[in-house]
Amino acid sequence: MRIHYFNPDTDLALACNGGHYIAPEQVRGMARDLALLPLWYAEPGEKVWLADGNAVPYASQMSDLFNLQVEAVSGADAMRMGEVEMLPWGWNPAVRHFFLKQGVGVDSLPSADWIETYRVLASRQTSVSLLKRVPADALYCGEAEVLGSVDDCRVYAGRHREGVVFKAPWSSSGKGLCWCRGEFSVAAGWCGRVLREQGAVVASPIYDKVEDFAMEFVINSWGAVVFEGYSLFATDGRGRYLGNRVLSSAAFEEYMSRYVSVEGLHALRRRLISLLEVYAEAGYRGCLGVDMMVCRAEGGFRIHPMVEVNLRMNMGIVALRLAERVLASDLSGHFRIEHYPSPSALQEAAGRRQLESPPVVKGGRLVGGCLPLVPVTAESRCVALLEVD
């Protein structure tokens, strides 16, 4: 039995690298409110684990409405029923420790040694080494360096007067970034702290970005790297994730043709499949996304082919599954996560949305309106939505 578990703090837990890591309250709240999110990407016959059973009726309703054939289960007993394969959003020492406490057999989980191997693979330092194997040319741009001291960071910033973004080796969704567009002194303290806590800093120039996108892959049980589709997403000015377009691969390629040819995208895809085999050879199996950018350059546009690699489930895969299983095939939409300052603010917004744009479902597909992907409760401050364009 395969059971999914949503732990959006996984990259923060990798940075901490301890079995007793506790996420910040805001992140714990997001995990509670969006616990049902795996319902939309789990395969038929799989299950989604919830800390309590409050969302089980909503899961059943959605599974029936869209013929997902996925069941929500709750309580520790659900993890002890026969042979279980746990599928978290991402692996780290803390989630392994949590599963053990719930009674999952140690033989059903990755070893502590493998988690450490995975931690190294999931670091931005690994993606930097892969980026160096993609030569800059008429189609590609992008560079990154791993730095080991504050002095190294200062020198790097001095070489890139147009601006630098410093990154922690492990962080997620725009966190762990420091934007340095002026004097390095404003970034020196941040770099020093990350160096003490994580041992390195990753640095890149700030590019003239036009679009954020990704290519999504799965390394299957045979170790083959399989292309799943594209992800067109939005971030704010600090690099924090805002949401995804939900559209077919054909529609994505048509949209991107204003910047790069379809043949160019396909060539990059083939190149990446070869590069990503390093993860398969190290034993990783599962989803991964390669974040990219379209950047303005002299004479037109270039692709930054590997801003970073998300070696886990990610929102791009969620958007792909929504396009495949939920949204009507001839439509496009937006998938987004909304955060509210209080439960009452979310409930007010949800009520207004229900009046102004109720979901319209025909033949098991969303054809209009806005669909909440998780239930809104009296305690919720966060909600996931799919809205038809």
Considering 205, 228, 249, which residue would you say is the last residue of a domain? 205
**Is 386 within the bounds of a domain?**
no
pLDDT at position 262 over 80 = yes
Considering 282, 317, 352, which residue would you say is the last residue of a domain? 317
Q: What is the pLDDT of residues 91-130, one digit of tens each?
A: 999 999 999 999 999 999 999 999 999 999 999 999 999 9
| Predicted confidence band of residue 278 (pLDDT cuts 50, 70, 90) | very high
Domain containing 222: what range? 123-138+208-317
Mark whether 24 and 151 lie in a shared domain. no
- The answer to whether the CB of 138 falls within 8 A of the CB of 131 is no
Mark whether 114 and 66 lie in a shared domain. yes
pLDDT at 171: 87
Mark whether 149 and 258 lie in a shared domain. no
Nearest to 167 by CA among 307, 296, 22: 307
**Is 387 within the bounds of a domain?**
no
| Predicted confidence band of residue 68 (pLDDT cuts 50, 70, 90) | very high
Considering 122, 155, 190, which residue would you say is the last residue of a domain? 122
Mark whether 2 and 79 lie in a shared domain. yes
CATH, residue 189: 3.30.1490
Residues of the chain above pLDDT 70, percent: 99
3-state secondary structure of 59: helix
Q: What average pLDDT does this structure show over 222-237?
A: 93
- The answer to whether the CB of 46 falls within 8 A of the CB of 70 is yes
179's enclosing H/E stretch is strand 177-180
Mark whether 58 and 127 lie in a shared domain. no
Rg, C-alpha atoms of the chain: 21
| Count of domains observed in the chain | 3
The residues, any chain, with a CB within 8 Å of residue 117's CB and separated by 6 or more, are 282, 283
Mark whether 83 and 178 lie in a shared domain. no
| Predicted confidence band of residue 20 (pLDDT cuts 50, 70, 90) | confident
**Is 375 within the bounds of a domain?**
no
pLDDT at 77: 82
**Is 356 within the bounds of a domain?**
no
**Is 365 within the bounds of a domain?**
no
Nearest to 172 by CA among 14, 11, 314: 11
Mark whether 260 and 131 lie in a shared domain. yes
Q: What average pLDDT does this structure show over 145-161?
A: 96
Mark whether 127 and 246 lie in a shared domain. yes
Mark whether 130 and 156 lie in a shared domain. no
The pTM (predicted TM-score) of the whole model is 0.94
In the numeric block, which tokens belong to residue 116? Answer: 């450490």
In the numeric block, which tokens belong to residue 32? Answer: 């509670």
CATH, residue 241: 3.30.470.20
**Is 345 within the bounds of a domain?**
no
Q: What is the pLDDT of residues 164-193, one digit of tens each?
A: 999 999 987 667 899 999 889 989 999 999
